[in-house]
Structure 1
């Protein structure tokens, strides 16, 4: 399939761009003060060096703490009062994530920490002195750089929302914008978010190519959601030092928040039931088809295998109503809805659509 080959080439170039860029944010900032002070703090038991003016509340943030932080600097509270909700799209968010993640070392389970990034790591972690020790602590090092990256990403997203608000570009959920819960979930971890958003954008483009459209409730939409979940898990595992649970949990949480309204309330309708079911089916398939070994011993479906499997399932999936879908998961009750929103896996692997 030419589409898949082109996609593979794109991802290869995309990865090369990431490998080529690792200059820290404060080294790129124009007119920086060369005398800027540095500070040494403890991060998860390690001494780390950070810019003296870096907001330390960005370290060790829970989702709830980040939500409060984001609202405090974005003016979102005023927007809620006025009824204006500015939503950004995956297409808008992806280049922001790519640009800022590229300023920090690329750290994965398979490659560990690259030789070219060691000088940066040794400078930022003064007690880490060998490549072996750096690789042993790669997850901690990755988390540290994610906190640094978060500041840069948040600043640019807030600025983008401000421009859109001033220009009157107020989107609704049907326009393809991220809900506030989904966006905040992504901004808390920009590294995972980049791969999640890349998967979403790829799934949207593939659905349009293979099905003509991905209208809410149709077979193209079933393909989009299932492919999005499966690709996100694969991309996160290949592009970061994430564990199985971290990759699946991040994907599940983001895709479930996609089915919430801007206030974080669950949406209980046939379209959400369909999407949540298809999300779970894709995660179940990925879990069953993947050997969660470490690094080169990890095996999982390729991009082509994911696309072909979900394409086949979506093409042949049956149309059902919301009652049928809910009955597969326990019936129309609060427990079932909570399971659909919060469970990582499903007893099912089939897809479903709710409209022709």
Structure 2
């Protein structure tokens, strides 16, 4: 039985006619989903190997998260920050404790959280470090992806994101990712922060060299510079730890969180740091109507409770080891030229002779597996952390079959 009165083709045609073409989605129309599986409007099932770029770490429609959302929907959804609500203090307290920090500034989307971190670092630089007004500098890494707002694309090296959006926001210096010497050379008396992804997601799930993150931590501490870790994709269980930074025993000054914090139910993001750093904000200087709303906090509190149990981190670690050992077998056979990642997160480089990443994504869709390409020849694999080993193996078998041609 059809889940919709219109076919996928009709719905796709209507979307292409009426929506701006800022995305190039696969030609599938999802009608429902549970766990790691999605169903389209014609009733065809697909295994989700993308998990909403880690927004769906806990899968589709997790019963605990849906129950919290439903309960809150019947009571209170929005107050704005003009008033307090009963979940706000608990959300900030629990998230701060999960991060080993003191304060939380809730927002909605990942890009908003990055913008908030940028503003916070500059304000901290002027009010605490004593950098001359309007001279603050933030150092970022090449091939980064922190969002697509005007400020954020100003320090992107992705020309598709940057082109025709200038003039660009000043105050940023780009250095190669993983190059500690280049980073050290870039730090000067006006530097207020280093903003990095502990693992670069959009760039192809790039893991930095061993010792890089500890080196960044040591350098920033020595030079009185904030280390801001964008864990929007890498955090909250994806890599087998609560935060990707934990793999090298690094604690940044600032965590930037999003995606999975909303449990795949509502957009929730946050900047988490010390009282010294987030204490620079005063009423009226920064805010969000929906940031920290009752529905978001209720769902976010349940996400935090689930993470405290450790089950999802353990699943990501164990299934991630299986994922990477299975993918490693594919290298050297001609089709796969490289595999990277941590936990249930992998970037797989495809030899161009076997097609583009987009080509392979379409072929996998025909076999009932949904992934997405990046940078032309790389496939990202990031299933929900609730996926079973049997389903993971089935998806990998479809991947091997497509590569075999």
Same fold by TM (over 0.5)?
no
TM range (shorter): under 0.3
User: TM-score under structure 2 normalisation?
Assistant: 0.23
Q: Looking at secondary structure, tell me which structure has more helix per residue.
A: 1
Q: Looking at secondary structure, tell me which structure has more strand per residue.
A: 2
Which structure has more RCO (C-alpha within 8 Å, separation ≥ 6)? Answer: 2
